[in-house]
Structure 1
Amino acid sequence: MDKFFDAHKYDSQSKLAVREPKFSWKNIKKSLGKVYAFFYGNPPAIIGGLLLSIVLAGAIFAPALATHDPERRVARPHVAPNAEHVLGSTRSGRDVYSQVLYGARKSLTVALTAGVIAMTIAVLVGVSSGYFGGKIDDRLNFLTNVFLVFPQLPLLIVLAAFLGQVGSLVITVLLGITSWPWGARVIRSQTMAIRNKEFIISAEVMGESKIRIILVEILPNLISIVFGGFLGTVIYAMGAEAGLGILGLGDATEVSWGSMLYWAQTSSSLYTGAWWEMLVPAFALAITGGALALVNMSIDQVSNPKLRTGPHIKLWHKLKKEADKKRGL
């Protein structure tokens, strides 16, 4: 009886207690601690995060950082890098440095938007297929297999050629609706593994709605997989956009890394000695893709116990050695 009154007293006091504001210094310190724990002992996260921050800063602050209008002729054709034009000029006399900054805006916008579209479809299809099962799983799995049969890049080339010279919006939609099957397959497998866990069964027994179970119980356990798939899709979409641009299937009048490569190829920049017109956008693509891949790798190292790094790596290795010793390994 005394325990009952003590528990009741504790509940009353907890209800009357003043809640800590969400934006308190304690919460900010806790968030900064999580960020530090993610980067500490995780070199891919540090290098990838730094490179990606530089690229994003260049894209966001392009109007302030650019020295010339990227669409105007401001120099003689194929001027080598100098003090005024640090990365040289194109055959049409446009500043390459200004173009690569503004091109980052277009290329990253296309890639990020396509990644959001693709992973949204992948999550809807993968979670629905893995959780509900039965006929829903059969139909959605069949749809996923149909999309997996077709090679993505050749399919994109055929669609873009059929539609004619298309703008960035059409390319974004095409990339989004053709890049989701692999993500859906992985999410489906993980959802099927989670579906039989005790906390899911308990939620179903308690009468929780299926929508709530998906949103509250399943999706939080898929965050690392979804984010990893998103970064992979962004890398693919960025490369595919550049590939379509080189083939002349994009809008060559828009300033993007793909259109820069297209005009560099058209003007035979490598053969004429104007290597900067081709190599600068190619280097920008390589740096951005590498940075995204490093960030993706760092997330895997944190979320995957087999690759775990960070401030607890020494303790984790110690416990692993003890477990292996007990098993006679």
Structure 2
Amino acid sequence: MLKRFLLIGKVQIGLAIIAVFTLVAIFGPWFSSTVLAMSPQDVDYQHLTGGPPDSTHWLGTTSQGQDVLSWMLHGTRTSMLVGFASAIIGTVLTIVIGAWAGFSGGLADKILNGAILVFGNFPTFALLFIVAAAFQNANWLLVSIVIGGIEWSGGARQIRAQTMSLRGRDFTTALRTVGESRARIILVEVMPHLLGVISPLFLGLIAAGVNQQAALAFLGIGNPSEPSWGLMINWAMTQNALFRGLWWWFVPPGLALCLIGFATTMVNFGLDEITNPTLSSKRMKLMRIFLRDKARRTAAQAPQEVAVR
């Protein structure tokens, strides 16, 4: 199954984009300081009004003379750290609360399901805005905890529903009969059946974490000493980069945010093809060929039937 998954073109494109951003997040600051010999705080006094891309500044400079590429390389680390950390936190909460609620039943299910419904009906960004604003200059880890602690409810509802359907299966009933613990049944027996739900949830939480962090930074919430894509867009907006024609300042972070969303969507399409064979691109291609050939045969037989009559 893994081989089939990795051979899907959409998955290869999505994973390649995520891998590139991950590598930039790991080695980008080193490349900026060692190869480019620049940091986001360095100022080029010859380009104080914002210079376009050239041989010295590959992505141009801001209106303060700071190198945009250096900002992108350092900002990618912050944005990807928040994306992956918040996705891990949110996925763990989703699995623990959703699976425990669905498998337990009774009072525990009612309490946990109530918590899922309460968090699911909160205006997510408004709550995130209030919580994050309460912590001035919050670093990336605190922002990740806040995002992951809020974005879990939608996935927990799906996990609960799937777990409830598995709770009544013969194999789980047999395991409970022989005295297996609830935790072992959930982790060893039930969890493999939930991977088709957990994987797209994790990918969606990565994109949600990156975009939520960018939105908070765009609104000026967070640590201004930690470069990020949202902070770049925030400063570009406050300095009227759009009206001054400094497109190289806000287009790279905006494009990076779009690519992260595009990459996770492509991988999710691949997961859909694996978990739902009717959505397989190869199957759909064969079906189109079959229907086209059938239409041609029907069109060719029509004149012969008329001639016979």
Distance in 2 separating the partners of 1:153 and 1:39: 34
- Pair 196,309 (structure 1): closer, same or farther in 2 beyond 3 Å: farther
Return the letter of the residue paired with 1:87: L
User: Aligned runs of 1:149-160 on 2, under 5 Å?
Assistant: 149-160=121-132
Cα pair 2:85 2:141 within 8 Å, conserved = no
Q: 1:120 aligns with which of 66, 81, 92?
A: 92
Structure 1 residue corresponding to 2:21, chosen from 49, 52, 55 = 55
- For 1:292 and 1:94, how far apart are their aligned partners in 2? 31
**Structure 1 residue 286 displacement after superposition:** 0.9
Partner of 1:27: none
Counterpart contact for 1:302–1:309, Cα < 8 Å = no
Is contact 1:107–1:257 with CA below 8 Å preserved after alignment?
yes
Do 1:253 and 1:259's aligned partners in 2 also have CA atoms closer than 8 Å?
Answer: no
Answer whether contact 2:21 2:80 (CA < 8 A) is retained. no
Q: Distance in 2 between matches of 1:74 and 1:112?
A: 33
Q: Give the aligned partner of residue 260 of structure 2.
A: 288
Picking from 155, 162, 169, the partner of 2:141 is 169
1:6-57 CA-to-partner distances (Å, cap 9, x unmatched) read xxxxxxxxxxxxxxxxxxxxxxxxxxxx6542232x2211211222222222
The equivalences for 1:77-96 within 5 A come to 77=48, 78-96=50-68
Which blocks of at least 5 consecutive residues in structure 2 are unaligned?
Answer: 292-309
Q: RMSD of the alignment, in Å?
A: 2.0
* Identity value in percent: 33
Shift of 1:160: 2.2
Q: Specify the alignment match of 1:21 in structure 2.
A: none
User: TM-score, length-normalised on structure 1?
Assistant: 0.80
Deviation (angstroms), 1:300: 2.1
Query: Which residue of structure 1 lines up, in the alignment, with residue 303 of structure 2?
Result: none
Counterpart Cα distance in 1 of 2:4 and 2:121? 41
Matched, 1:278 2:250: yes
| Pick aligned residue for 2:170 from 198, 220, 226 | 198
- What's the TM-score once normalised by structure 2's chain length? 0.85
**Partner of 1:71 in structure 2?**
41
8 Å contact from structure 1 (residues 125, 140) kept in 2: yes
Aligned pairs for 1:99-248 (under 5 A) are 99-248=71-220
The count of corresponding residues between Structure 1 and Structure 2 is 281
Give the CA deviation at 1:306: 3.2
Partner in structure 2 of residue 30 of structure 1: none
Contact kept? 2:136, 2:223, Cα under 8 Å: no
* CA-CA distance at 1:223 after TM superposition: 1.4
Secondary structure of the 2:149 match is: helix
Unaligned 5+ segments in structure 1 are 1-33, 322-329
Q: Which residue of 1 aligns with 2:4?
A: 37
CA contact (8 A) 2:25 2:74 kept: yes
CA-to-partner distance for each residue in 1:61-114, whole Å, 9 max, x for gaps? Answer: 214433222222235221101111111011221111121111111101011101
Q: Which moved more, 1:172-181 or 1:53-62?
A: 53-62
Provide the rounded CA distance (Å) in 2 between the counterparts of 1:298 and 1:236: 19
Q: Which of 298, 306, 313 is equivalent to 2:278? A: 306
d(CA) in 2 for partners of 1:36, 1:125: 31
In 1, the alpha carbon distance for the partners of 2:245 and 2:29 equals 29
CA distance in 1, matches of 2:177, 2:132: 50
Question: Residue 248 of structure 1: SS of its match in structure 2?
Answer: coil
Letter in 1 for 2:6: F
SS at match of 1:61: helix
